[in-house]
Structure 1
Amino acid sequence: GHTRAFDQMVSWLAVHTAKSAVSQLMRISWRTVGALVARVWADTGAAVDRLEGLRRIGIDEISYKKGHRYLTVVVDHDTGWLVWASPGKSAATLNAFFDLLGDERAAKITHVSADGADWITTVIRRRCPNAVRCADAFHVVAWATDAVDRVRRQAWNEATGRGAGRRGVAVGTARQLKNTRWALWKNPENLTDAQQAKLAWIAKTHPRLHRAWALKEGLRLVFTLAKTSPTAAVEALDRWIGWARRSRIDIFIDLQRRVTRHRDQIIAAITHGLSNGRIESVNAKIRLITRMAFGFHSSEALIAMAMLSLGGHRPELPRP
């Protein structure tokens, strides 16, 4: 019941403003806005081959709705455009992308960046045999940040008497430990004076926890060095693996095994200077689209909005 020009007008407005505002301005329902956007993207997507010429891609997943609802997204590193998205977070979901891409074009992919998820690695090895697999630096450092937080929780449990075979200490000490999360998480150059004091207190009273923080910073330093000297970064990575192995902190011993398992992918990321930075930027914009729309009734509407906004083919205003 709508003209093509009306569809284009609604889609243009939806890309540039909140979905609820479009609904009120154009006197149509919330569901109708999503349906029109999906229809316009179906026409636009059918008119262009957005997968042509792909050489370096990034793969990631993003939570878009409560209840563990995920989208798997693929971004072109060279253009920064979102080229594909689909509901789900599994090997079957990613295989659907490569089915659409085709074996001939998949063989031309030279680099793939992603986190360390095994399901992504399995699909890439089978469908992109010529591609260099690069582990995303942000996710690798996030592994270490999570490990520090687990060591912090262990220390807090011991301080409160919840650790196996340990007696609780003063309540004030436990409270101080509980409030150290940001001092341990943040980069040293971003710490406030109070957080720096908290870190100094940890160094004096909890050397094991401070050693865990130092290990986290040591892994972050690897990727800082990669920006200026890839060779030095690789050497620092190998030294870090040895340091973590001898740390006598079980959580970091397990982490170094994980890092060792992904060592080739991490070195590839350091050597080729590839990360999921572009993909994280696209994910942030998808979250913004979701907030502007105050939620979507279907993943199809969200994907259509994301593709029109971030896929390099924005709708144009209809000519009078």
Structure 2
Amino acid sequence: MRGASVWAQLLGVEKTLVDSVEFDEDEQVIVACVRPRKAERGRCGVCRRRCAGYDAGEGPRRWRALDLGTVQAFIEADAPRVSCPDHGVVVAAVPWARHGAGHTRHFDDTVAWLAVACSKTAVSTLMRIAWRTVGSIVKRVCAEVDQVVDRFAGLRRIGIDEISYKKGHKYLTVVVDHDTGRLVWASPGRDKVTMSRFFRALGQERCRAITHVSADGAAWIADVVRDWCPRAVLCADPFHVVAWAGEALDEVRRAAWNDARRAAGNDRRTTTGGRTIKLSRGDAKKLKGARWALWKNPEDLSDKQQAKLAWIAKTDPRLYRAYLLKEGLRHVFTLKGEAGIQALRHWLSWAQRSRLPSFVALGRKIKKHRATIYAALEEGMSNALIESTNTKIRVITRTAYGFKDPHALIALAMLALGGYRPALPGR
């Protein structure tokens, strides 16, 4: 194999002629002077269409290549400009790098793979680049994947949710495919405009193919889904519905704690459920520390928390009734199907008679979303998969700390969770 061919393999360049390789004593780097083969010259950098030449550009430029051992390597070549009918005057395409990049394709692919698999410090230190540069590279690689991969192919059942990615109420809307478990779309924002952007990208024909959509009770999701996918079954997420019961229970707990605190400071008596109960100064403290005993599932309670729950049953029947209502609603979603629907009807009647304002209001809220909750019980769908994806995105968010552009975070999440991770060059 000739020396030029060996250098082409070492530098990871294809369809390229290597004219010379020198070691720059001043900068302590290897510089390879190259030029594209004849068939690759005179092409638009954006669409790679053959175009008429425009000028010689600003002279030779360099692209960072993968290190050769411990020495940095660069590719140097002319960068003429061409006149494209569609994109105007642009720098001509080169076979070893993406348009607008300052690094070779192999360098970009290696950085993208490391960004998915390694920590921020490891990527920056190993590749000797700034973390902000990693964000730009990840966006380039993800954009190229989107050009060759149809992420929306075969979508039938999807889950939609939002996740916070930065302080100041900054959210991403994410869409997951229930059948493959892949993240298929994400965008900054959580409103109807953002949601409509996804369905517009999906197209009317594929919107008609959507059969099921799982989501929480947010109106900005439900209204847009009904507009774009009128035939799709909208399923409420059981986790969010039970979380509503947890919030209602917490309201009762705070009210009970305030009653106990006031009673302990006055005559140490309070009326609960039609009877008078004696309270000591320690009761307020016990109620304040009872939050986890009330929130956790019965099978997960520790011995201490079980004792706390038994004490609440004797001391405050109102709070214990709220706890039973929360557990009753959770039991509805363990039954599913027709049994779950019947159990939910009984639960709504129980909540209406509970004389607990927060649960009476919850009953009205559940009636408002009754159709989507029934659908979730019948179809057995939930947002458990998308909540798992959100947890992974939170980990990626911590890794991507320092990316000012949320699209760099989205690109990293798509590469990690979209099912199309970049491959290491030559593997």
Same fold (TM over 0.5): yes
Residue 329 of structure 2 corresponds to residue 219 of structure 1: yes
Match of 1:242 among 334, 337, 349: 349
Q: Which amino acid aligns with 1:116?
A: G
- Contact 1:137–1:269 (8 Å) recurs in 2: yes
Displacement of 1:296: 3.1
Q: Which amino acid aligns with 2:374?
A: I
State the alpha-carbon separation in 2 of the partners of residues 74 and 166 from structure 1.
Answer: 56
**Alignment-derived partner of residue 386 in structure 2:** 279
**Alignment-derived partner of residue 204 in structure 1:** 314
Displacement of 1:183: 0.2
**Alignment-derived partner of residue 188 in structure 1:** 298
SS where residue 157 of structure 1 aligns? helix
State the alpha-carbon separation in 2 of the partners of residues 167 and 257 from structure 1.
Answer: 35
Residue 398 of structure 2 corresponds to residue 291 of structure 1: yes
- Contact 2:397–2:409 (8 Å) recurs in 1: yes
| Gap regions ≥5 residues in structure 1 | none
Displacement of 1:167: 7.8
**Alignment-derived partner of residue 51 in structure 2:** none
State the alpha-carbon separation in 2 of the partners of residues 171 and 287 from structure 1.
Answer: 42
Q: Report matched runs for 1:1-320 at 5 Å.
A: 1-161=102-262, 170-226=280-336, 230-319=337-426
SS where residue 209 of structure 2 aligns? coil
State the alpha-carbon separation in 2 of the partners of residues 143 and 47 from structure 1.
Answer: 42
Larger CA Rg, structure 1 vs 2: 2
Q: Which amino acid aligns with 1:232?
A: A
Flag the 1:177–1:3 CA change in 2: closer, same or farther, 3 A.
same
State the alpha-carbon separation in 1 of the partners of residues 414 and 367 from structure 2.
Answer: 37
CA RMSD, 1 decimal: 1.6
Displacement of 1:173: 1.1
Deviation string, structure 1 residues 14-40 (Cα, Å, up to 9, x no partner): 110112210111000010011111110
- Contact 2:131–2:402 (8 Å) recurs in 1: no
**Alignment-derived partner of residue 44 in structure 2:** none
The one of the two structures with greater contact order (alpha-carbon pairs below 8 A, sep at least 6) is 1
SS where residue 126 of structure 1 aligns? helix
State the alpha-carbon separation in 1 of the partners of residues 260 and 224 from structure 2.
Answer: 45
State the alpha-carbon separation in 2 of the partners of residues 47 and 152 from structure 1.
Answer: 54
Displacement of 1:179: 0.1
SS where residue 39 of structure 1 aligns? helix
Q: Which amino acid aligns with 2:171?
A: Y
- Contact 1:7–1:40 (8 Å) recurs in 2: yes
State the alpha-carbon separation in 1 of the partners of residues 172 and 280 from structure 2.
Answer: 46
Deviates more, 1:165-174 or 1:22-31: 165-174
TM-score (norm 2): 0.72
Displacement of 1:96: 0.4
Displacement of 1:94: 0.3
Q: Which amino acid aligns with 1:223?
A: F
Q: Which amino acid aligns with 2:408?
A: A
TM-score (norm 1): 0.95
Deviation string, structure 1 residues 210-249 (Cα, Å, up to 9, x no partner): 00000000000011112xxx12111101100000011000
State the alpha-carbon separation in 2 of the partners of residues 189 and 112 from structure 1.
Answer: 31
Displacement of 1:180: 0.3
Deviates more, 1:30-39 or 1:166-175: 166-175
Displacement of 1:127: 0.9
Flag the 1:166–1:66 CA change in 2: closer, same or farther, 3 A.
farther
Q: Which amino acid aligns with 2:366?
A: V
Matched pairs, number: 315
Whichever structure has more helix as a proportion of its residues is 1
Flag the 1:26–1:75 CA change in 2: closer, same or farther, 3 A.
same
SS where residue 160 of structure 2 aligns? strand
Displacement of 1:295: 4.8
- Contact 1:111–1:134 (8 Å) recurs in 2: yes
- Contact 2:173–2:190 (8 Å) recurs in 1: yes
